[in-house]
Chain A
Amino acid sequence: MQTTLDAYDTPAPDHLRDHPKHWRNRKAGHHWRTHDEEFDASKLGMWLFLTTEVLLFAGIFCGYAVFRLLYPEAWANGSHYLDWRFGGLNTVILLISSWTVANAVRCAQLNNQKWLRINLIITLICAALFVWIKLQFEYMPKLGEGKAPGTFFSYPFAQDAHEPLWWSLYYVGTGIHALHVFIGAGLLGWVLYRSWKYEAYGPTEYTMVENSALYWHLVDLVWIFLFPLLYLIH
């Protein structure tokens, strides 16, 4: 299998040859023996952080399971209020963005600066599309009809007394997920900026690309479960 070693001898552009932020001039922290150790430790730290994120969403999934068992009618009605086409479209958008961000890591590993940026830009466009679809076709029409969480609920045609509870869970689940989309897009935007300005990422220095990509994949993972739970199971 190809490794980052294969791409190590690619030339650096003249204006960045001596820039401290260019990937070739980055040194490992003084408390690390090698770049590799720093990279591995950083990645393990990211994974530990991701496990806490999984546990955060586990609370929402557990709440979903408990309420679903207690109030099956409200949950069946709830999923019928949602249109799977918007959820499905957003799933496809997130999967494609996950693929482009995985490609961005690959391009950083191979010192392909141009395609690193193109992949990141496509990912950011996907993030914007996801949020736009969510707001334009889901949150806005639903809130307009009064399908709001908890005491804000004012939809007059509800059929089950626990439907406000369903909407609470729906908005908390998808809302926290959307917050993660914003944070992930912010991280990737930062990576794009530094890549654009300093060519900061390359075969020996791509920790930030890798960790931001891991975060973005987690956003995708959560949606992989939220989509069937909210839209398909009835």
Chain B
Amino acid sequence: MSHAAEHNAELGWNPEDPHGTNTHAHGHVVVGWRLQLGVLAALLFFTALTVGFYSLEKWAEVAFLIDLPNWVNIVGAMSIASIKATLVCMYFMQLRYDKPLNTFALLFCLFAVGLFLFFSMIDLSTRGWVTEYKYGEAQDGGTGVALDADPRDARFGIRISPKVSTGGQNLIDTRRAEYQAKWMKSHEGATEKDWWAYYYGHVKHPQKMSDDTENYFAQLGFDSHGDELSTADKRVVRTGRTNALELDEHAGHEQAHSAAHGSDH
């Protein structure tokens, strides 16, 4: 055998059939149907497990009046999701039987994702260091407080978002006030007390009151006024669901007083 022929044989190349239409040096692995069905069963099992874990945790919090730390929930759900993802990659996407280069590409990508998350978390945890210098420039984002812009895009003369002007309020307070005005109009003779009764009948998370809600229930002392809110610069961890029990009676009285004055103008 000549040197060139030997070299071609090494490459799996046959000069008689350069495009390899008739040669099939090796076949691709066909994953057996029993294995595939088993993987599907495992994936469904882990889905049930993650939902079960979630329900169990919710039940335990109510049954034993405890507030489990956040990481229990997160670590449980993310570990199960990772196991499921590994199963899909190995057997459905056939990485186990593939060239290792494909697995390497995926793992390198996951490493990049890790870096991405890592540096974002570093940024987040060190923001306190620059707060002093940035004070006055940085503000809490995402609440809609600063929404006063012309929704018309000057470059194209088209409307790209609804006209919203919150006048320095939160977007959620603006929307509640708008809805309240509409509701009062459609319910003739309704008092403000009726509105707040209706409002709290529809609130989904009554244990978590926002700080700036001046309302009837706050006047009665059922709101958690005085609680700090989380902002872009600090995280306020809130545990326990019994805010009303911790209420300072004097603070409640003061709010009722100021609310009465506020209704004059």
Contacts and interface: CB of A to CB of B under 8 A. Distances in A.
Contacts of B189: none
Nearest to A50: B106
Given A109-B28, A160-B208, A224-B85, A232 B50 contact: yes
B203 A159 contact: yes
Given A3-B28, A221-B85, A47 B47 contact: no
B175 A217 contact: no
Given A2-B30, A33-B20, A43 B102 contact: yes
Contacts of B142: 67, 71, 161-162, 164-165
Contact of A1 (B32, B78, B110): B32
B18 A33 contact: yes
A11 B218 CA distance: 80
Contacts, number: 260
B112 A43 contact: no
A30 interface: yes
Interface residues of B, number: 93
A44 interface: yes
A77 B208 contact: yes
Contacts of A48: 105
A151 interface: yes
B12 A73 contact: no
B259 interface: no
Interface stretch (A13-21, A93-101, A127-135, A191-199): A93-101
Contacts of A150: 161
B253 interface: no
Contacts of B59: none
Interface in A101-124: 101-103, 105-106, 109-110
A190 interface: no
A214 interface: yes
A96 B209 CA distance: 41
Contacts of A163: 172
Contacts of B208: 73, 76-77, 159-160
Interface string A153-186: 1111111111111000000000000000000000
A47 B93 CA distance: 10
Central interface residue in A62, A76, A161, by most chain B CB within 10 Å = A161
Given A73-B238, A102-B36, A158-B175, A228 B24 contact: no
B20 A28 contact: yes
A151 B124 contact: no
A156 B124 contact: no
A109 B30 contact: yes
Contact of A44 (B36, B39, B78, B102): B102
13 contacts: A1-B29, A3-B29, A34-B12, A36-B24, A43-B102, A54-B106, A102-B31, A110-B30, A157-B204, A161-B171, A164-B172, A217-B92, A228-B80
Interface of A: 1-8, 27-28, 30, 32-37, 39-40, 43-44, 47-48, 50-51, 54-55, 58-59, 61-62, 65-67, 69-73, 76-77, 80-81, 84, 88, 91-92, 95-96, 98-99, 101-103, 105-106, 109-110, 146, 150-165, 203-204, 213-214, 217, 220-221, 224-225, 227-229, 232-234
Given A36-B26, A70-B124, A73-B229, 6 more contacts: A6-B30, A44-B101, A99-B39, A106-B33, A153-B144, A232-B50
